[in-house]
Structure 1
Amino acid sequence: MADETIGVVGAGIVGLATAREIALRRPGTRVLVLEKEHEVAVHQTGHNSGVVHAGIYYAPGSLKADLCVRGVSLLREYCQERALPYKEIGKLVVAVRPDEPGRMENLYERARNNHVPDLRKVSKEEIREIEPHAGGIAALYSPRTAITDYPAMAREFAKDIEDSGGEVRLAFPVTSITRVPGGIEVASGQERVRVDRLILCAGLHSDSVARLAQDEQEPRIVPFRGEYMLLKPDRTHLVRGLLYPVPDPRYPFLGVHFTPRVDGSVEVGPNAVLALAREGYKLSSVSVRDLAGLAAYPGSWKMAAQHWRTGFKEYRGSLSKAAFMKDAKLYVPGVGAKDVVRGGAGVRAQALDRDGTLVDDFRIHQSGRITAVRNAPSPAATASMAIAEHIVDAVFDDTSRKR
């Protein structure tokens, strides 16, 4: 209906892309984005590495695979239209240990099934031609993998929403969600708004906001902090493109890698340590409430029992630059602790099931007039415009995608 009001909780890149998609596809619909912070893209979007993933890692047929591949083309076109940064600097996924070429072969087949463009295998000698200072015994090369500026894109999405007659309401932390006849009432303290449908894209708080809407109890969000080092300016020339390890299939994290940014800097990281607060960007950040929730959830203890050794290793890297750079040196042997300074950090909203399984794929729940995005980790930024299409298709039972 043209006179509907659609609410979206969360002004990260997924929430904004979804609100924008509604505004474009359903002219006349009022779109209202509700965000607890005083500006958009403060959390996961604002701490993103900027990589536009090509679809190498994701299980064929999964939402991640399908929406990542679709999202790349949408994102590239949008960046070109709006003069936003989009640089195809290429990615090498490098095998450095004897057991990794076999895993790399599986990755190659997965990437081929996902139609990753121009992907090819390269030898040890070809690695040096692409990245003269890199190590490794073999690699996959994705020349079309790019970098961009996701916070700038999120701000542009917000402008599109407002230009279409919608509203991005900041400083509106959602404290209650109530189903009322014909719609939903969303409150922030004493302030209330009524919407006809509601879409929850709350990122680090996706489970707690979903509980306000009486959605399912699982999965829960476990915050993992990813810390970065920065190459010193006189060492950035050692890395031309993206350098990634062959991922461990047991974990949804990609491991420490080298990431050039659109501003010319080069990040090394991230590690993955359990954060002691949902917005725990510093080692000293602790939330008693968040820790109590984590301790009360059975999945947390099952996860810890399975992965405590890896967790201990990651914390060592958090405390010591030398330990952090130990694995990084395998990919660029000429770079060590003396060549980096501590950079920023981000917190990943990692969904966890009750049995201790780290949820890998996107997970979206729909219950009547409320749709909840419960898990949207990387490559959610890359896939944001495709995720938005997917959500709007489901919410309105509409596959027309009229522009």
Structure 2
Amino acid sequence: MRHVAVVGGGILGLAVARELTARGDRVTVLEKEPEWAAHQTGHNSNVVHAGLYYEPGSFKARMSVAGNRSIVAYARERGVPVEVCGKLVVATSAEEVPRLHALAARAEANGVPAKLVEPAEAHAYEPEVACVAALRVESTAIIDFPAVCRAMVGDLETAGATLRLGTPALAIRRGARGGVELATGTDVVRADALVNCAGLHSDRVARLAGVSPRARIVPFRGEYFTLRESASHLVRGLVYPVPDPTLPFLGVHLTRMLDGSVHAGPNAVLALRREGYRWRDVSWRDVAEVARFPGLWRLARRYPRTAVDEVVRSVSRRRFAASLARLVPAVTRADLVRSAAGVRAQALLPDGTLVHDFLIETAENQVHVLNAPSPAATSALEIARYVADQVG
């Protein structure tokens, strides 16, 4: 029986481990934190994406559309809370309407159930939105991704996998008889193959394993607010802006969660630590590493105004509220309560280009998942099948 070591205990690492055990492999999962899903999986908006934003034929498009179905089915099978509520993408000006139509065409190309609606029909879904046109996307859902991970841990325990919390991979080398050896600080794990699903540290784990990834992970913090209970009636489901293709990130949006609360965000600012959930979370090692990377400065030169706007929105609740009020005018600064932030592991190339698609690289007896931001949680079961195929 082949032994595979999986580094990373977020939803991707657990999904890959689950897929490998289902194929008959013996699996050990190493997670450096004392709990599962401690970072990206446990700090996101819990949206199951439909797949309408992504380039047709890309990994993200194919895996998000399929993943939307498979993760919802898995949640229902395992009793994990999930609600297929749909969402509304709203054009708030005439200038945005052509982009909305282009988004509708992309949805059709990707096989995403969506329809263009006039303001009156949009208001039937979301009475408080401001729009001149909208796109209704039916398959978007809300889920509890940490609960999905707990269900996967249960599956792995039943399958006899070895699950090790508080166990970082500190060094990786080729085994004397082939395979890989991973030093954890307390022992050495010997395996026939390695799968790297380390998220924010995936490029570092790849380098530990002797691989030189072509992209570098740059952490971006996404900050959220929650609407006060007195204002939560303003949003019934999910309200998103029309994305601007000239900008690197989607923009803030409003999401009603499973518990009835409404989350607002995220923005996107450079984090000063790979796990920097607050401005005061600083790692000088991480700052120096990013500062030495030419890709960051080339990205900043490409989007100088966006960078400034995101920082201003980070420190100004008034500016954050103004961005939300474009979508739902009744939202005010007083309605916003600071909520927990997340950090996105964004792969960036040396020329300053953001890696938009999932990036998975292979070496002998190794598979490295090097870029898997949103919609990776949505696509987790599909990515797991692909990665398991690459392991062989």
Class of the TM-score when normalised by the shorter of the 2 chains: over 0.9
Matching residue of 1:227:
223
Choose which of 325, 330, 345 in structure 2 pairs with 1:329: 325
- Whether 2:175 is the aligned partner of 1:174: answer no
- Whether 2:41 is the aligned partner of 1:42: answer no
**Contact kept in structure 2, 1:252 and 1:360, CA below 8 Å:** no
Alignment-mate amino acid for residue 96 of structure 2: E
- Which blocks of at least 5 consecutive residues in structure 2 are unaligned? none
Question: Does 348-357 or 183-192 show the bigger shift?
Answer: 183-192
Alignment-mate amino acid for residue 159 of structure 1: G
Matching residue of 2:180:
184
Matching residue of 1:285:
281
Cα distance in structure 2, aligned partners of 1:251 and 1:334: 26
Q: Deviations over 1:296-345 (max 9, x none)?
A: 11111111111121111111111111011111101111111011111110
- Whether 2:22 is the aligned partner of 1:24: answer yes
Matching residue of 1:65:
61
Instruction: Give the deviation of 1:98 after TM superposition.
Output: 2.5
Alignment-mate amino acid for residue 246 of structure 1: V
Q: Secondary structure of the residue that 1:47 maps to in structure 2?
A: coil
**Contact kept in structure 2, 1:95 and 1:139, CA below 8 Å:** yes
Q: Deviations over 1:247-286 (max 9, x none)?
A: 1213442210001111211001000011111000001111
Matching residue of 1:126:
121
Cα distance in structure 2, aligned partners of 1:242 and 1:377: 20
Query: How many equivalent pairs are there?
Result: 391
For residues 260-279 of structure 1, the aligned pairs below 5 Å read 260-279=256-275
Q: Secondary structure of the residue that 1:268 maps to in structure 2?
A: strand
Q: Secondary structure of the residue that 2:102 maps to in structure 1?
A: helix
Instruction: Give the deviation of 1:215 after TM superposition.
Output: 1.3
Choose which of 211, 217, 225 in structure 1 pairs with 2:207: 211
Choose which of 124, 147, 151 in structure 1 pairs with 2:146: 151
Q: Deviations over 1:165-191 (max 9, x none)?
A: 101101111110101222100011242
Alignment-mate amino acid for residue 13 of structure 1: I
Cα distance in structure 2, aligned partners of 1:128 and 1:252: 29
Cα distance in structure 2, aligned partners of 1:210 and 1:251: 29
**Contact kept in structure 1, 2:46 and 2:142, CA below 8 Å:** yes
For residues 2-401 of structure 1, the aligned pairs below 5 Å read 3-26=1-24, 29-117=25-113, 119-180=114-175, 181-396=177-392
Cα distance in structure 1, aligned partners of 2:93 and 2:269: 24
Q: Secondary structure of the residue that 2:217 maps to in structure 1?
A: strand
**Contact kept in structure 2, 1:261 and 1:267, CA below 8 Å:** yes
Question: Does 176-185 or 363-372 show the bigger shift?
Answer: 176-185
Instruction: Give the deviation of 1:66 after TM superposition.
Output: 0.6
Q: Deviations over 1:9-30 (max 9, x none)?
A: 000001100000011122xx21
Give the fraction of aligned pairs with identical amino acids, expressed as a percent: 51
Q: Deviations over 1:114-154 (max 9, x none)?
A: 1112x100111211111111111111001221100000101
Question: Does 51-60 or 185-194 show the bigger shift?
Answer: 185-194
Cα distance in structure 2, aligned partners of 1:217 and 1:67: 22
Root mean square deviation of aligned Cα? 1.0
Cα distance in structure 2, aligned partners of 1:228 and 1:258: 10
**Contact kept in structure 2, 1:207 and 1:218, CA below 8 Å:** no
